[in-house]
Amino acid sequence: MLEEKIEYLTKLKDEVQHSIDATTQMKNFSNKEKEKFENVYIEKDIIYFNQNDYNHFGKFLNKKNLILKIDNINNENILFNENIIGFELDNEAISNDAKYEKIKYKGNYILLTRKDTASNIEKFIEECIKEIYKDKKIEKNINVFMECLFTLLKKSKKNIYFVKIYIENIR
């Protein structure tokens, strides 16, 4: 019983430290006028749930960053649906009865960090895609997703999201 309590307290301490780190990073971050495009190679398995259907994601919330899939409609309009939320998979087991979509993001991506409202982030992503692909015709939807470093689940005009934005680099 003592070992269980120690394990629980250690886990709680790690979760609190994660929140402190994310809050400090958000507090100290400021958007730059001209964003530098950082190229990164990623391999991430993301599992997406509709949070209106299931509570499966609840157990991940306290230890993982929330991931929102971005739909790039006709390579023009950017939209993220806050009801579809994802998490990076490590070794977690997902229930067989759960409805989910698993996407493997692998390859070169451009990584940007932003702190802003949902609508401003959507506009920012649109501008970045236009800048990144200004000389190239885009023949398919580009994989884009957002990792929320300070989790807020619902869009509103006032909520500030602190996110890492991953834009597929198909050049």
Q: What are the tens digits of pLDDT across the range 135-147?
A: 877 777 788 888 8
Is residue 63 over pLDDT 70? Answer: no
Q: What are the structural domains of the chain?
A: 31-168 (3.20.80.10)
What mean pLDDT comes out for the span 106-118?
90
Torsion of CA 7, 149, 22, 59, to 10 degrees: -20
Please indicate whether residue 39 or residue 83 has the higher confidence score (pLDDT): 39
Contact 77, 121 (CB under 8 A): no
Mean pLDDT of 84-105: 76
Stronger pLDDT, 36 or 165, i.e. the higher one: 165
Smallest CA-to-CA distance from 71 within 106, 114, 101 is with 101
User: Cβ distance 80 to 147 under 8 Å?
Assistant: no
**Is 49:99 a contact under the CB 8 Å cutoff?**
yes
User: Which residues, 6+ apart, have CB-to-CB distance to 143 below 8 Å?
Assistant: 103, 105, 109, 166, 167, 168
pLDDT at 152 over 70: no
Of 47-56, 103-112, 158-167, the poorest mean pLDDT is in 47-56
Cα–Cα distance between 112 and 146 in angstroms, integer?
9
Q: For residue 5, what are the contacts with CB-CB under 8 A and spacing of at least 6? A: none
Residue 41: the pLDDT is 95
What is the rounded average pLDDT of the residues 72-82?
64
